[in-house]
Structure 1
């Protein structure tokens, strides 16, 4: 039962047991009616103002006193059942210290009557019933709070998962489009230079730029398609480490001087780590073509038993005014996401990107 449900049901239950108490009590009619009126009025006020904690415990003293008056000298009077209602109200609405303090106050009634009228049977049953109600409702409240916390945590995890997925898709699209535009610009630049003297070479460069644009568009569609379907048949395969040779060839066809060295079996990386290696080489080559156009680039992939080392070194003097962009951060995040590491920075006569990925 929720806290709102407790506030709605408790006054009705107390009014019911107060009415039974009036019908069964040995007190005079005015005393019984005034006691019942006090119980109902206090319960309605507490339900309306909805206090919790120690304020609720203090407010419950009035209905407790009224129930004790109605059930005085009578363990058979059902007004004592109202003590269980109050115990549930306090335990479901307040923290453990408040619930236990309320229980002590509640038990003072039947225990005191038991001490004064030991011959009257039934006092022990009310003591045990009230204590059991408190314990059961304390566990119920903790279970309810646990469920609420689990739901909140699940919502936070779902939102975090969506944010990570958006970030991953953004990285994929960034790498694909960046590579496509860079290599396409190289082809278009070559076509522009060869347009007058070598029209066939210019035509070939434009055809290659068009082919690369179409291929990149398919990769973007495949990447975005990962967010829309779980059917592997409908998703185009993403590249992996075995496609690095084709990637290097695309830069060579665009006129870039790229040397590739591969040692070992790249299939040992698998699809996830293989995609990370591919994207790292792709981004490194894109950056080299963009910031050190015309300089030679050396790509080396060495697949060992424990890990795979990917290095991309380009010549030229790095510009000291150049600040690291999102591309370097993206490469580093890709390496770390599969349990690897990546370093990038200037070296004598060039720039070096080195990634070490577990096999």
Structure 2
């Protein structure tokens, strides 16, 4: 087996045999912690901690009763736990309904805080919620929800706390909510556009690599055919003529003609061997094609394991496998948020096996989207079989393609 690591960060990883593949995912724990402690989560938690800490400090300094302090502490705790559940990367079984319920609960919690703590800067908590909206709803709905979320501050502080100047504060926090939503929406759009460009670039690189391999294969076959059709035929004619000449010749001339005949036969045999060798080596270098595509992938370590006897001379098979790799890379980046991708390609006398293991945030249930359907269609057209399976920390794509024994080198 030949193992190669390719990564956009030009990093290196250990050479590992296929029987030890599970340990490739040993870094998942660290990757999960990185996901959990991403910058947006850290900033949200820090903002919440400052708001909650200052509010509880003011309540204590103003000699508020213990019941109010305990209630406020409980509301702040429920808020941060609910917010973390709302923004988690992994989808829920009924994702839209559950996130909507959490969102409503968070609004209710903030309103409860307004009634418990007479400090208007707690509206920052509404701003934290509003800032997450563009990830889950379109910008129009986000702006509408952000506007509605600004009203409770005005009504609670005007009619419950008797604050005559809260209108200005509420207006300022409303503009802050709108600004947060618009800026986050721009970030979401920019990220989506960048991912689309990167995906398109990977498609172009894989297509370029495949065309390069197809061109090399076509050139080798052309050279082999020309050698066979031109030089081979001339040598065959020369051999026949020398054989006839050796029959008619006599004495020393006959001996020399027979030597020339043997040399011509040997040369013809060498030419046939050379043509066969060129044809046998006119295979697609899938290893190099995948490596070219892997160099365009940011923040993902790609481990490539290729068997030494791999021989692919069918451009359609190579194209299907490259498209499967490309889709797996896209799924790892966009959906699994993974950091590691293991690609294992092997071959025996009857079939070619291809397995991709991507780590990351793996859903509990498998949903066959357009990307996975496209992979199924490509493999089925080639008479192969493809299966998808979910593991606690991995999504595994397995492909088996039948091959003709005559194509073996």
TM-score, scaled relative to structure 1: 0.49
After TM superposition, the score normalised by the length of structure 2 is 0.44
